[in-house]
Structures are given as structure tokens and as C-alpha cells.
Amino acid sequence: MTDFWIITLSTAGALFALLAAVGILRMPDFYMRVSVTTKAATLGVGLILVAAAFAFDHFSVTSRVLAIIIFILLTAPVGAHMIGRAAYFIGVALWNKTKTDDLKGKYDKRTHKLK
């Protein structure tokens, strides 16, 4: 039973990491690339770590796995948010099929304030 979980979780993790890599090539604009890679990579890494916890079945490994997952969940979205915000600010173009842009014209170019 443990083997089953290790195999399933690590395979799923590797697949999601692969999908994130393919996503970088396939997505049409920068924001969607950030969107796809942060999440699929987070889930992929998380699944592989859980598989490692099952495989070692030792408290010292499990606690480290939990700590790493918590820190990834805390830091990955903050990084994605900062990169996305900076990209919007310097004017990286959106995909031409983007329907609405509520942020347009809301930034003060000089003071970086958002109205």
C-alpha cells in the first residue's frame, strides 16, 4: 500500500512539473506563464515531497517535508505577485485576446501609487 502511494504521488508530481515546463512554451503572454508555472510547480514539488515522506517514513523527514511545504506555500505566491506587479508596471503587454483590463490607467507612473 505504501508503495502504491509513493508511486502515484511521485508520478503525479513529476507530471505537474513537466506540465509547468510545457506551459512556459505554450502560454501566449507573460502573465499566464507566471500563472501556470508557479502553481503547477508548487503542486509538483509538494507531491514529490509527500512521496518522500511516505518513502522514508521517519519523523525527522516528515517534519522537514511539512516545513518545506509550508514555506513554499508562503513564498511562491508572494514571488509571483511581485513579478506580476513589476511586469505590469513596466508595461509588459497583455495577450491581444485579453478582454477587460481593470488596472489600465490606475497607476501613477511617478509615485507607483495605485488609485
Partner 1 sequence: MRSLFLMNILLTLIWAALTGKFEFSNFVFGFILSYGVLWIITRDTKRASYFTRVPKVIGFLLFFIKELIKANIQVAYDVVTIRNYMKPVIIGVPLDAETELEITLLANFITLTPGTLSLDVSDDKKTLYIHAMYVEDKEAFIESVKNGFERRLLDILR
If binding is defined by CB under 8 A, does position 71 make contact with partner 1? Answer: no
Query: How many other C-beta atoms are found inside a 10 Å radius of the C-beta of residue 25?
Result: 7
Q: Which residue has the cell 509550508?
A: 70
Task: Quote the least distance from Cβ 4 to partner 1, whole Å.
Answer: 18
If binding is defined by CB under 8 A, does position 68 make contact with partner 1? Answer: no
Cα angle at 17 between 83 and 55, to 5 degrees?
A: 125
Nearest to 83 by CA among 44, 20, 38: 38
- Residue 77, C-alpha cell as written in the block: 505566491
Query: Among residue numbers 4 through 63, which ones bind partner 1 (CB under 8 A)?
Result: 16, 19, 22-23, 26-29, 31-32, 34-36, 38-40, 42-43, 53, 59, 62-63
Give bridge partners of residue 78 from the DSSP assignment: none
Contact residues for partner 1 (CB under 8 A)? 16, 19, 22-23, 26-29, 31-32, 34-36, 38-40, 42-43, 53, 59, 62-63, 73-74, 76-78, 80-81, 84-85, 88, 94-95, 97-104, 106, 113-115
